[in-house]
Amino acid sequence: MTAIPLSWWVTVATALFVIGLYATLTRKNAIAVLIGLELMLNSANINFVAFNRYITPNQVGGQIFAVFVIAIAAAEAAVALAIIIATYRRRATVDVEDIDSMKF
Amino acid sequence: MEQLINWFANILENTAWWGLPAQPSAAIIIWSVYGFILALVIAPLAMIVLTWLERKIIARIQDRIGPNRAGPFGLLQAVADAIKMLTKEDITPTGADRIPFNIGPGLAAVAAILIYAVIPVAPGIIGTDLNIGVFYIVAVGSFGVLGILMAGWSSNNKYALLGAFRAVSQLVSYEIPMVLSLITIAVVAGSMSTVTIVDKQSWSNGGWYLVAMPVTFLIFFLSSVAEVGRSPFDLLEADSEIVAGFHVEYSGLKFGMFMIAEYVHALAVAALTATLFLGGWHGFFVEQLMAASPVAGAILGHIYFLLKVGVIVFILMWFRGTLPRFRIDQLLDFGWKFMTPVALLNLLVTAFVVKLFQPAVTGMGYNIPAGPLASFGGVGQTIALLVASLVVAFIASLGVRAFARRSRSQSPLRAVAGIEN
Amino acid sequence: MTEQIIFFIFTLLVLGGGIGIVTTKNLYYSALFLSLTLSGMAGYFVLLNAGFLAAVQVVVYVGAIAILILFAIMLSRRMMTADEPQTNRQTWLAAIVSPLLFVALLVVVLQINWPLSTAAPTGDTLLLLGLSFLGSYVIPFEVISVLLLVALVGAIILARDTSTDTGRKG
């Protein structure tokens, strides 16, 4: 039995998720929205690995899921940043409030 | 003394979690502490010895003498350089972000020093025996990249920013062949731990990996030299490239930190190459001496390790004195279009050969039958890997020949000289 | 006891970095705080007996994603502009809803009786991960490879500078 109960891990993960949610909802810059998204994905990772450690310590299912989440987050960040750079090239802004129509 | 050891062991109460056995004996504690201190101390020693060595060797290659004023044979030149660097004015440009400006060089230096934690210097002497040893090395390399980007952006200087972009593209591009060659070594050794990799290079297990996988050695060595930023890949820091690149605005001790980071990283690359390919501390009589007296065996292991590291360091300085510098587009082409496909092909072929020679493994709920040629053992695997490496090298050379032919036929000189291909 | 101290230090890094991300006006500092948070997460993974995952976190998140975000920031702004306020009109609403959501989630989750296991954690997660990736989880593994290839090609095509194309094919 370790000195850190599972509830602490879940609390930290929830706090990080809420911080990420706040960052996604309140920032104007598209890249800042992406940063909040990465925080939310990381909080899910903490949950996966913590549950893996405390409920099935002899298996690694949670860690495998966490690896998949990291890979998907990497792919999503790459494509999202490519879109942001392309948008900046055409409209000279990355403010999400200004990019509100498909027609340029 | 007994009480001291008990107190220390009680502090490490969860020692199994830290990697030491529970209730370690005095000998184990002393060896572990020595390995830990060695990992920390190598960095400053590297700086002092390497700067002197580099200037002398390059001077001799260039047919001159090198520093010989400060002390006998110029041995105190490093001290003179350090004093000069400490007394220079520490300039922070106006408009520069203070905190990333100050942290950048520190991060680059720390990332280089952290590599020494997983290098086995002698049998039993290592900073810490991680089971993900080589992957840890890739991970700490990423911190150095972050430090360079912080340094370039916070200098508030267009040229520093462009230099930082080019530096980061070079470092990120050459991480991929490096990681692929490290995976190849992990496949052959069956483990990512550096201690296991060194153990597998004993004579009975097939000998050094340099003999077994020369192509992997070349890929790893060249991409590591590119990662460090030494010649011929040193456009990161050359004085004539974008006005010295990302550290143009640094002066005094912060600039010294970048220099320290580069030399420490270069020595770390040499130590890594010696560990992964040249057999680490293996040599004549080390195992016999270890059985007789561990301390004498460890000292002999140290000596062999230092010799191998010295050879690689000399090769690094030889590169610097002889080869001209790559241009950024030539460098990126070389990394992406040549090194990465060759590294992938090498990994495929090596995995195939290892599967052929694999001894049967059972346990942990799986049962892998032995490969068809497993009876030939380690030496047979080495010979087969050597043949496979030569095949990969031949295929790579075909690619090089096609590229050379194409670039010759497009050369503007052809029209002038009227040369037929 | 030592574990709790280490947990506390890494929590300071992770949550401190998170709070830094949402409170700073400078987007560049947000990205640097993100790197701090991601490095703290790697420490968490080591505490949770997931050493390989910690190294993967550093290599992929800090060494690639954070650097990519920094690149995108540098390529999409002029140098060192005075920063206009980074927050939009929803700030007050989000500031009320987020703590409410936090409290609601905590109340629900902390009441659940998790089936905790007291078995000792496995020592060699690397071996188990390798077996699983090529054993029971081989299909998602291959799908992820294809996904990464698609993302790679797609990102290159999306970010390509088409203003210098001369209309010549490939």
3-state helix/strand/coil string of C87-148 = ECCCHHHHHHHHHHHHHHHHHHHHCCCCCCCCCCCCCCHHHHHHHHHCCCCHHHHHHHHHHH
Average of pLDDT values for B14-39?
65
pLDDT at A57: 87
Record: contact B366-C131, CB cut-off 8 A = yes
**Distances in whole angstroms, Cα of residue B307 to Cα of each of B46, B234, B360:** 15, 26, 37
- Asked whether residue A98 is assigned to any structural domain, the reply reads no
User: pLDDT of B225-255, one tens digit each?
Assistant: 998 888 787 777 766 665 667 777 777 788 8
- Asked whether residue A37 is assigned to any structural domain, the reply reads yes
C112 — pLDDT class (breaks 50, 70, 90): confident
User: What ipTM was reported for this prediction?
Assistant: 0.90
Record: contact A79-C128, CB cut-off 8 A = no
The proportion of chain B whose per-residue pLDDT surpasses 70, expressed as a percent, equals: 88
- Asked whether residue C73 is assigned to any structural domain, the reply reads yes
Domain total in chain C: 2
- Asked whether residue C153 is assigned to any structural domain, the reply reads yes
Q: How large is the angle between the packed helices C66-75 and B133-153, nearest 10 degrees?
A: 20
Average of pLDDT values for B27-48?
79
Judging contacts by C-beta atoms under 8 Å, the chain B residues touching residue C58 are: 139-140, 142-143
Average of pLDDT values for B351-369?
76
Judging contacts by C-beta atoms under 8 Å, the chain B residues touching residue C127 are: 364
pLDDT at C83: 58
- Asked whether residue A97 is assigned to any structural domain, the reply reads no
Using the Cβ of C37 and the Cβ atoms of chain B, whether some distance falls under 8 Å is answered with no
Per-residue pLDDT at B15 exceeds 50: no
B24 — pLDDT class (breaks 50, 70, 90): low
Residue B362: its H or E element: strand B361-363
Q: Which of C81, C106, C140 is the last residue of a domain?
A: C81
Q: Are residues C71 and C128 in the same domain?
A: no
Query: Which residues on adjacent β-strands are paired with residue A27?
Result: C87
What φ, ψ does residue B389 adopt, rounded to 5°? -65, -40
CATH classification at residue C30: 1.20.120.1200
Q: Which of C81, C101, C136 is the last residue of a domain?
A: C81
- Asked whether residue C135 is assigned to any structural domain, the reply reads yes
Burial of B63 (0-12, 13-18, 19+ CB in 10 A): exposed
- Asked whether residue C109 is assigned to any structural domain, the reply reads no
- Asked whether residue C150 is assigned to any structural domain, the reply reads yes
Q: Are residues C54 and C2 in the same domain?
A: yes
User: pLDDT of B105-141, one tens digit each?
Assistant: 889 888 988 888 888 888 877 777 788 889 999 999 8
Domain span holding position A74: 6-91
- Asked whether residue C104 is assigned to any structural domain, the reply reads no
pLDDT at B14: 44
Using the Cβ of C2 and the Cβ atoms of chain B, whether some distance falls under 8 Å is answered with yes
Averaged pLDDT score across all residues of chain C: 85
Domain span holding position C139: 124-163
- Asked whether residue A30 is assigned to any structural domain, the reply reads yes
What φ, ψ does residue C162 adopt, rounded to 5°? -85, 0
Q: Are residues C6 and C73 in the same domain?
A: yes
Q: Which residues 358-387 of B are in CB contact (within 8 Å) with C?
A: 364-366
Average of pLDDT values for A19-40?
91
Judging contacts by C-beta atoms under 8 Å, the chain B residues touching residue C59 are: 135, 138-139, 142
B177, B339 Cβ separation under 8 angstroms: yes
Record: contact B366-C66, CB cut-off 8 A = no
Q: Are residues C58 and C1 in the same domain?
A: yes
Record: contact A57-C98, CB cut-off 8 A = no
- Asked whether residue A57 is assigned to any structural domain, the reply reads yes
The total number of residues shown for chain A amounts to 104
What φ, ψ does residue B406 adopt, rounded to 5°? -65, -40
**Distances in whole angstroms, Cα of residue A61 to Cα of each of A50, A52, A56, B34, B233:** 11, 7, 8, 38, 42
C8 — pLDDT class (breaks 50, 70, 90): very high
Judging contacts by C-beta atoms under 8 Å, the chain C residues touching residue A11 are: 106, 110
Q: Are residues C3 and C77 in the same domain?
A: yes
Q: Which of C67, C74, C126 sits opposite B146 (nearest CB)?
A: C67
Those chains having 3 or more beta-carbon pairs within 8 angstroms of chain B are C
Using the Cβ of B145 and the Cβ atoms of chain C, whether some distance falls under 8 Å is answered with yes
User: pLDDT of B74-101, one tens digit each?
Assistant: 778 888 888 888 888 877 787 777 888 8
Judging contacts by C-beta atoms under 8 Å, the chain A residues touching residue C126 are: none
Q: Are residues C1 and C63 in the same domain?
A: yes
- Asked whether residue A42 is assigned to any structural domain, the reply reads yes
Those chains having 3 or more beta-carbon pairs within 8 angstroms of chain A are C
pLDDT at B160: 81
User: pLDDT of B149-178, one tens digit each?
Assistant: 888 888 777 778 888 888 888 899 999 999
Distance of residue C58 Cα from the nearest chain A Cα, in angstroms = 11
- Asked whether residue A26 is assigned to any structural domain, the reply reads yes
Q: Which of C3, C87, C118 sits opposite A28 (nearest CB)?
A: C87
- Asked whether residue C32 is assigned to any structural domain, the reply reads yes
B385 — pLDDT class (breaks 50, 70, 90): confident
Angle at the Cα of C115 from the Cα atoms of C113 and C116, rounded to 5 degrees:
105
CATH classification at residue A27: 1.10.287.3510
Q: Are residues C74 and C129 in the same domain?
A: no
Q: Which of C25, C58, C81 is the last residue of a domain?
A: C81
Burial of B412 (0-12, 13-18, 19+ CB in 10 A): exposed
Average of pLDDT values for B396-409?
86
Per-residue pLDDT at C41 exceeds 90: yes
Q: Are residues C8 and C75 in the same domain?
A: yes
Q: DSSP labels for B363-419?
A: ETTEEEPPPTTGGGHHHHHHHHHHHHHHHHHHHHHHHHHHHHHHHHHT-THHHHHT-
Averaged pLDDT score across all residues of chain B: 82
Domain total in chain A: 1
- Asked whether residue C97 is assigned to any structural domain, the reply reads no
Judging contacts by C-beta atoms under 8 Å, the chain C residues touching residue A81 are: 68-69, 71-72, 155, 159
